[in-house]
C-alpha cells in the first residue's frame, strides 16, 4: 500500500476513541457520525462477476475461466467486475444503502489448489496447478484493482493457505501438509498474489493447518505472510472462522482469548462476530490499545487506498455501467473459450442443413442455475442450453425437448413412479436425427457447506459419477441408437467412462455463464472451434486418496501414477495444429523463454493453447554429477516425490486455416526449482527437458490426440 494512504489511515484512526477503533475492525463497521465516517460492510464477492448484489454480468464460473488459459481475457473480466462493483457501491451509498455485497472490497479470487475432484468449492478455483493458478490469479487481481491512483476495488486472495475440503468437517478439521507440499503446491500462488500482484487483502481459512487455526497461524500468517513476504495489506478471517477457534478447534477457551490470539496474529478484520468482544479482551488485559489501533490502521489504509475519504476517479460510475452490451459480449466470449471438447468422433460440428429434428434431453437443458455456478450475480440475459440451440437451428427444424430426469432425485413429479421422464426421453430420442444430452450438477448439490442442498457430503461429491437418475437417463437415451452429443455442466471433474465409450461427442461446459447456451450453440454448429483445455485432471472414480489426506502424493497430474480418463491440459479442436522449430533461450536460472512455430493445418479458424512443461528429475542431476553445492541434500531426496512434469508457460494464439505464427512464451521464474523434503527451494543447475505442444507430455494425452509434444533440451 502507498505510504500516503497509510498516513491518512493513521490520521483518521488517531481521532477515534478506542471503542470506536475497535468497532472498525468488524466486517460490518458502524458509522462514526461525529467524524463523518459512514457505515461500511466489507463483505463483497466477485469470483466471476459481481455477486449477491442484484443485477450484474454473470461470467462463467472461475474453473471455466481457468479452462480458457487466457490471461488477457481474465484481466478484462476482473476489470468488468470492478466496474460493476464500483457502480453498485456508488448508487447504493447515494440511497443510504450500506448493506453487505454492495461494497468495493471483493473477497476474490479463490486461489486454493483443486487437489481433490470431490471438493464442492473447487469450482471457485483456477484448478489443480500452482503455476496456472498463480498466472491467472495475478491477472484477475490486477484487473480488479486497476492501475490508477486509487484501487478500483480491493482484491482479496483466499483461503490462506491450505484449504480444499472436506466441507463437512472444515470448521474443526486439521489439514496436515508437509513442508515440501506447502512450498511446492499450497503457497506459491499466494506468494505471487502478494509479491507480484500487490493484492490488497488475504483471507484465512476455516480449518487448522498443521495444528494451528489458519486465521491465526504463527507459521503461515505471522512468519510467512507478514515477515518473510512483507505483506502490508489487510488480513480478514473467513465468515465466523474466529468463532471456530474456541467452539470447534478448542484452541482457545473463549471468545476473548480468540480475539487476543487473532489480533496478535495480525488478523485485521473479522468477518463474523468475534470482534464484538474485542473491548472485553482489552479490559481483561489480553490485548493492548496498540493491538487494536494497529488493526484499525491496517483496515483504514485499504479504505483510504479505495478513495473513500476524498474525491476519487471512480466516483462517476453508476447504474448505466452495469450489465452493458459490452460486458455481455465479453461474458459470451469467455463462455465460448471455456468449453472443452473431450471427445469427437467426427459428428461435430453439426451441419444445420442436414438436420430436420434435434432432441434436447436432460435436467440441465433449461437450467439457469448451471449458468450461474455459486457466488453469482443475477443476469438480465440468461441463455440456457435449450434456448441457445433453439435460436441457432434453421427455421423449420423441429427442436424436441424432454427433461428426462430430475437432477438427482429418482422422479420429477413427487407422486409419480420412479423414472417418470425416461419414456418421454426415449420418445424424443427416437424422433430426433441427433440428440444433445444435457447433464451435470449445479450449485444446489455441489458447492460450499450451507449453500447447497446436498445432504450427503455438505456440498462435496460422494463419487465422481453422475447422479443415479442421470446415469439411467444416459443409458436409456444411448440405447435408442441415435447419435448423442453429451453436454456436461459441472464445476469439477467427473468419471465419464461410460459416456466416453457410448456417446459420439462430449463437451465439458462447466457452469457456463449468462450466455452459456449461446456459446454452446456456437460450438455445436461450428461458429466457434472449441479451444478450452482442462485445468483439472478427470480421474476414474475410486483412484484418489482419502479426501482428508493433504499429501500431494497421488494427486493432480504432477503426482498421479494411474492413467487418467482425461488429462490436465487436454482439449480437442475442430482443426489441427502443427508445431515446429521449438527453441529455448535462457538468460539465467530465473529468466527463460521458449519460441515455437505453430501452424493451423486444418480447415477452421481457431485458437490454440500452447503449453510448456518442464521435467525436473533430481536423480538425473545427481547421476550427472551436477550441483555439488546441493549434493549432500539431494542424496537424501527421492525422485519419486518430485513432480513428473510441471506446467511452466502457456499462451493462447489465434490462427486462420493455413496460417502460422511464431509464439514466444516467458517461463515462470520457478521453472528450474526443486523443492526438497525440508521445504527448501533449490535452484538446480544442469540439463532439463522442456515439452512444447497443445497438451502435456503424458501417455494418455498422446493416446487421445495422436500427437506428441516437442522436446527441447536446456542447460542451465
Catalytic residues: 238
List the Cα angle 444/449/451 in 5-degree steps. 40
- Name 666's bridge partners: 593
Cα–Cα distance, 285 to 190 (Å, whole number): 34
- Residue 173 class from Cβ within 10 Å (0-12 exposed, 13-18 middle, 19+ buried)? buried
- Side-chain half-sphere exposure of 202, counting CA atoms within 13 A: 32
| Alpha helices by DSSP H, 527-571 | 556-559
C-alpha cell, 499: 459416456
Give the single-character DSSP code of 155.
-
Cα–Cα distance, 434 to 610 (Å, whole number): 33
Cα–Cα distance, 428 to 425 (Å, whole number): 5
3-state secondary structure of 339: coil
Is the four-CA dihedral 60, 373, 511, 540 of positive or negative sign? positive
Cα–Cα distance, 387 to 365 (Å, whole number): 8
- Side-chain half-sphere exposure of 670, counting CA atoms within 13 A: 20
C-alpha cell, 232: 502490508
CA-nearest of 607, 601, 696, 602 to 646 is 696
C-alpha cell, 430: 427416437
CB of 119 within 8 A of CB of 125?
A: no
Segment 394-397 long-range contacts (CB within 8 Å, at least 24 positions apart) = 394/352, 394/353, 394/355, 396/356, 397/352, 397/355, 397/356, 397/357, 397/358
Q: In angstroms, how far is the first alpha carbon of the chain from the final one?
A: 36
* Cis preceding linkage at 109, omega within 30: yes
C-alpha cell, 108: 476474490
Amino acid at each position: 500500500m502507498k505510504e500516503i494512504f497509510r498516513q491518512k489511515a493513521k490520521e483518521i484512526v488517531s481521532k477515534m476513541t478506542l471503542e470506536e477503533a475497535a468497532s472498525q475492525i468488524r466486517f460490518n463497521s458502524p458509522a462514526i457520525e461525529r467524524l463523518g465516517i459512514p457505515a461500511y460492510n466489507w463483505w463483497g464477492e466477485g469470483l466471476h462477476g459481481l455477486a449477491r448484489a442484484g443485477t450484474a454480468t454473470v461470467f462463467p464460473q472461475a474453473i471455466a475461466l481457468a479452462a480458457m488459459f487466457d490471461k488477457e481475457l481474465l484481466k478484462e473480466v476482473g476489470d468488468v467486475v470492478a466496474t460493476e462493483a464500483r457502480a453498485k457501491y456508488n448508487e447504493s451509498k447515494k440511497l443510504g444503502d450500506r448493506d453487505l455485497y454492495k461494497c468495493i472490497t471483493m473477497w476474490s479470487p479463490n486461489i486454493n489448489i483443486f487437489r481433490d475432484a470431490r471438493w464442492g468449492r473447487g469450482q471457485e478455483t483456477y484448478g489443480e496447478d500452482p503455476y496456472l493458478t498463480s498466472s491467472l490469479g495475478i491477472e484477475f487481481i490486477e484487473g480488479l484493482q486497476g492501475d490508477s491512483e486509487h484501487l478500483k476495488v480491493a482484491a482479496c486472495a483466499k483461503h490462506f493457505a491450505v484449504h480444499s475440503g472436506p466441507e463437512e468437517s472444515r470448521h474443526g478439521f486439521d489439514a496436515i501438509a508437509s513442508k515440501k507440499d506447502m512450498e511446492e503446491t499450497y503457497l506459491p500462488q499466494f506468494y505471487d498474489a502478494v509479491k507480484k500482484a500487490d493484492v490488497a487483502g488475504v483471507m484465512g481459512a476455516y480449518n487448522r493447518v498443521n495444528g494451528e487455526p489458519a486465521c491465526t497461524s504463527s507459521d503461515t500468517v505471522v512468519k510467512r505472510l507478514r515477515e518473510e513476504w512483507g505483506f502490508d495489506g489487510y488480513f480478514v478471517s473467513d465468515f465466523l472462522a474466529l468463532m471456530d477457534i474456541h467452539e470447534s478447534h478448542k484452541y482457545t477457551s473463549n471468545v476473548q482469548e480468540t480475539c487476543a490470539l487473532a489480533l496478535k496474529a495480525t488478523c485485521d478484520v473479522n468477518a463474523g462476530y468475534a470482534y464484538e468482544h474485542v473491548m472485553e479482551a482489552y479490559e481483561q488485559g489480553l490485548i493492548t490499545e496498540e493491538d487494536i489501533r494497529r488493526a484499525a490502521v491496517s483496515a483504514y489504509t485499504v479504505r483510504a487506498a479505495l478513495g473513500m475519504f476524498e474525491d476519487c476517479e471512480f466516483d462517476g460510475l453508476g447504474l448505466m455501467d452495469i450489465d452493458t452490451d459490452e460486458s455481455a459480449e465479453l461474458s459470451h466470449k469467455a463462455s465460448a473459450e471455456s468449453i472443452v471438447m473431450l471427445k469427437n468422433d467426427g459428428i461435430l460440428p453439426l451441419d444445420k442443413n442436414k438436420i430436420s429434428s434435434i432432441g434436447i434431453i436432460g435436467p440441465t437443458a433449461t437450467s439457469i442455475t448451471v449458468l450461474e455456478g455459486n457466488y453469482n450475480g443475477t443476469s438480465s440475459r440468461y441463455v440456457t442450453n435449450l434456448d441457445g440451440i433453439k435460436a441457432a437451428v434453421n427455421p423449420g427444424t423441429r427442436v424436441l425437448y424432454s427433461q428426462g430426469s430430475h437432477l438427482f432425485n429418482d422422479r420429477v413429479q413427487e407422486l409419480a413412479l420412479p423414472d417418470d421422464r425416461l419414456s418421454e426421453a426415449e420418445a424424443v430420442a427416437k424422433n430426433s436425427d441427433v440428440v444433445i444430452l444435457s447433464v451435470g450438477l449445479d450449485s444446489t448439490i455441489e458447492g460450499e457447506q450451507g449453500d447447497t442442498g446436498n445432504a450427503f457430503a455438505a456440498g462435496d461429491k460422494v463419487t465422481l459419477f453422475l447422479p443415479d437418475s442421470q446415469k439411467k437417463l444416459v443409458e436409456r437415451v444411448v440405447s435408442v441408437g441415435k447419435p448423442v452429443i453429451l453436454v456436461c455442466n459441472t464445476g469439477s471433474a467427473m468419471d465419464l467412462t461410460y459416456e466416453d465409450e457410448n456417446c459420439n461427442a462430449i463437451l465439458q461446459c462447466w457452469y457456463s455463464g449468462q450466455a452459456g447456451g449461446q456459446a454452446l450453440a456456437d460450438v455445436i454448429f461450428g461458429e466457434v472451434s472449441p479451444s478450452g483445455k482442462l485445468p483439472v485432471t478427470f480421474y476414474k472414480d475410486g483412484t484418489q486418496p482419502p479426501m482428508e489426506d493433504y499429501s500431494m502424493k497421488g494427486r493432480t497430474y504432477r503426482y498421479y501414477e494411474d492413467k487418467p480418463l482425461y488429462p490436465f491440459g487436454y482439449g480437442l479442436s475442430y482443426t489441427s495444429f502443427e508445431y515446429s522449430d521449438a527453441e529455448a533461450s535462457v538468460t539465467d536460472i530465473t529468466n527463460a523463454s521458449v519460441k515455437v512455430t505453430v501452424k493451423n493445418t486444418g480447415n477452421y479458424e481457431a485458437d490454440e493453447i500452447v503449453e510448456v512443461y518442464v521435467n525436473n528429475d533430481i536423480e538425473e542431476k545427481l547421476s550427472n554429477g551436477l550441483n555439488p553445492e546441493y549434493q549432500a541434500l539431494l542424496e537424501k531426496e527421492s525422485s519419486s516425490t518430485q513432480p513428473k512434469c510441471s506446467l511452466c508457460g502457456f499462451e493462447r494464439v489465434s490462427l486462420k486455416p493455413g496460417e502460422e505464427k511464431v509464439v514466444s512464451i516467458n517461463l515462470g521464474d520457478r521453472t528450474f526449482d526443486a523443492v526438497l523434503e525440508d521445504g527448501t527451494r533449490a535452484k538446480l543447475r544442469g540439463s532439463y527437458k522442456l515439452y512444447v505442444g497443445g497438451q502435456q507430455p503424458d501417455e494418455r494425452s498422446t493416446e487421445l490426440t495422436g500427437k506428441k509434444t516437442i522436446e527441447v533440451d536446456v542447460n542451465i
